[in-house]
Structure 1
């Protein structure tokens, strides 16, 4: 359950947690609170140039170089969800260290994000048990093949990608023909409204 990076509106968004099950639709991160609100991205002075790097990662809000200093942490999700619980940051423990160097306890936000995913999972469409077991087996086989024969694993992944694209179009087309709403598709997939809409609009593509 490693994190990852995405670009949103020219801002580098660094996710702390990510799952194969829901992908970037429900990527999780540690959010920061300053003055009771959620601050905007922080920018880094790299000298001359038109591109000024920025980020929303919690560890950047350290109060250095005029940046906001985080007062509390909470769980956040790419879908827009925000955890209700707030976890004050103990700056006395952090001391003079940078936040990414300090041993900051993130167990609370992580648990809250996992609880959020559980609710998303409960509303999502259930996979038939044989299919769920097959997906686990394929994942294990591909992982093992990657270690021994990476080119073969890549070929298999390419085949699966084409199969998934074809089946996905057919399934989305059936849902569109049945008049299933975009909201219902998004909930059933555990994804965003915009992603579900794209699937339905391209259902009858080539």
Structure 2
């Protein structure tokens, strides 16, 4: 059964990997589920990797156990083809990883709790959080300098246009930067 993300745009699966590192062609009847490549009716898979209907394939190879589908697929585990596919979807969709969302929510809840009993501590914590958030400009600049993201993706992440993202974060790029034109808008 394939894995489908919340948006419905990504359908993931464990992709079979042969000994030479390639992915086997579908069987004559069109089926291609990893467990079919057990050597009985065609090539034998030696590992699996995360795969997605959008064409993405994970780099990491994972052990497979023809007798244990759950262990091979790793659904809900922190490592395995499913975890790799989830990371792909997060990056492709610009989604914040679940554990980061949970940390941010816990921080907001804790600061709100402090307002009732220790309002000055809550204000200090909020000020520290605001200063820490200011470092996002440095992180954004680094992603552009190292060609990890374009201004289009940065704008999408911050809910603005590429031009607005450049206006907001562009000054963090230093003179002599290989992306002196500030990357692709």
TM-score under structure 2 length normalisation: 0.44
Q: Which has the higher relative contact order, 1 or 2, with Cα contacts under 8 A spaced 6 or more apart? A: 1
Task: Please state which structure has a larger fraction of its residues in strand.
Answer: 1
Which one has a bigger Cα radius of gyration?
Answer: 2
